[in-house]
Amino acid sequence: MVTDEALFPQKAARTSPDSQATGSSAQSGGAIIQVRGLTNRFGRQLVHDKLDLDVHRGEILGVIGGSGSGKSVLLRSIVGLQTPAAGSVRILGTDLLQLAPERRAPLEQRFGVLFQRGALFSSLTVVENIALPLIENAGLTRADAEHLAIVKLALAGLPANAAAKYPSSLSGGMIKRAGLARALALDPDILFLDEPTAGLDPIGAAEFDELILTLRDALGLTVFIVTHDLDTLYTICDRVAVLSQKRVLAAGPLETVEAVEDEWVQEYFHGPRGRAASHAAEMGGTMGGAKEIRR
Ligand SMILES: Nc1ncnc2c1ncn2[C@@H]1O[C@H](COP(=O)(O)OP(=O)(O)OP(=O)(O)O)[C@@H](O)[C@H]1O
């Protein structure tokens, strides 16, 4: 029998969940990510101005906003790829940016990121891409890492014959799944997804959404999704955060956020595409589908 320990050696090795490195807020089941007073600028362009946001443990949070509102920069700030001009980001109770670079690795291994284009190494096969973090970060042998990579591949819904393929021979949907498998390689607590359904056809997008929901439930993940996809919001997100005017304009359940009196919010949710997604979700609910799967 394949045990949880065999599949997720790192998780098994964490004797006390959220011990010193993670602090009390994570332990209390409250905010697993706390962004406070975040300010980001590029030259004279102010992207975020004292932005605050909480991400709750176990939720799927959808982050939306107009093009250029700073969604990807927010994601990059949280995962430590963007150094803000001011403010703090506590993730699992620890301010990543306050840690010396050599002390960041254990915390960084507790979250996985799926970037827009998968960010796979083109010179490596799919299985080698997924095995790489297991070799480099978890110290597994190549053979063990590739065994575990096959499990992650299946978890992300890829057929076994995808393992030996190179990214260039994969479809867009398969690249997303391979990127997802790699993001899951180190058994993260938090999954960050940057526009995961962009470029997928509606069926592929719906399948990917359902996969994220299944993985969240099965693995107890917290999921932070930057998205433009209304169907994703209606079918899998527990809460939605709207970025506007350099801050989080509103954050809460979809029903609350879509009622916010703001021109962009109203057009987004109640324009033709918003109405269609809402209607589709309601139909899904009637038929035991989309709405049903939302918690
Ligand atoms: N490395 C960078 N250097 C300079 N400007 C940047 C950089 N990264 C982002 N920006 C600028 O910051 C702003 C926010 O970018 P970001 O990618 O976060 O927007 P977004 O909300 O994700 O947009 P979209 O929905 O179109 O992907 C944009 O005006 C962008 O041009």
Q: What is the pLDDT of residues 140-161, one digit of tens each?
A: 999 999 999 999 999 999 998 9
Single residue among 187, 211, 237 that ends a domain in this structure: 187
- Is 249 within the bounds of a domain? yes
- Is 171 within the bounds of a domain? yes
Query: Do 182 and 237 belong together in one domain?
Result: no
- Is 99 within the bounds of a domain? no
Query: Do 80 and 208 belong together in one domain?
Result: yes
Domain count, the chain: 2
Please give the residue range of the domain that contains residue 165: 121-187
Single residue among 142, 157, 187 that ends a domain in this structure: 187
At position 10, the amino acid (one-letter code) is: Q
What does residue 262 show for φ and ψ, rounded to 5 degrees?
A: -150, 140
- Is 225 within the bounds of a domain? yes
Atom of ligand 1 nearest to the CA of 69: 21
Q: Kindly report the protein residue whose alpha carbon is nearest to atom 24 of ligand 1.
A: 67
Query: At 106, is the pLDDT very low, low, confident or very high (cuts 50, 70, 90)?
Result: confident
Single residue among 163, 187, 211 that ends a domain in this structure: 187
- Residue linked to tokens 């949280």: 78
Q: What is the pLDDT of residues 27-69, one digit of tens each?
A: 345 899 999 999 999 999 999 999 999 999 999 999 999 999 9
Query: Do 171 and 195 belong together in one domain?
Result: no
Query: Do 199 and 259 belong together in one domain?
Result: yes
DSSP-based three-state secondary structure for 86: strand
Query: Do 279 and 223 belong together in one domain?
Result: yes
CA angle centred on 59, ends 69 and 6, rounded to 5° = 120
Is the pLDDT assigned to residue 18 strictly greater than 80? no
Is the pLDDT assigned to residue 9 strictly greater than 60? no
Verify whether ligand 1 is closer than 6 Å to residue 72 (CB atom): yes
CATH value at residue 251: 3.40.50.300
- Is 262 within the bounds of a domain? yes
DSSP-based three-state secondary structure for 92: coil
Q: What is the pLDDT of residues 159-217, one digit of tens each?
A: 989 999 999 999 888 899 999 999 999 999 999 999 999 888 888 899 999 999 999 99
The neighbouring-strand residues paired with 53 are 35
At position 170, the amino acid (one-letter code) is: L
CA distance 11 to 228: 32
Rounded to the nearest angstrom, the distance between the alpha carbon of 264 and the centre of ligand 1 is 18
Strands 86-91 and 31-42: antiparallel
Rounded to the nearest angstrom, the distance between the alpha carbon of 267 and the centre of ligand 1 is 22
Rounded to the nearest angstrom, the distance between the alpha carbon of 31 and the centre of ligand 1 is 26
The pTM of this model reads 0.84
- Is 136 within the bounds of a domain? yes
Which residues, in sequence order, are CB contacts of 64 under 8 Å at separation 6+?
71, 227, 228, 233, 240, 241, 242, 243, 268
CA distance 294 to 144: 36
Read off the DSSP letter of residue 38. E
Verify whether ligand 1 is closer than 6 Å to residue 81 (CB atom): no
Counting Cα atoms < 13 Å in the Cβ hemisphere of 16 gives 8
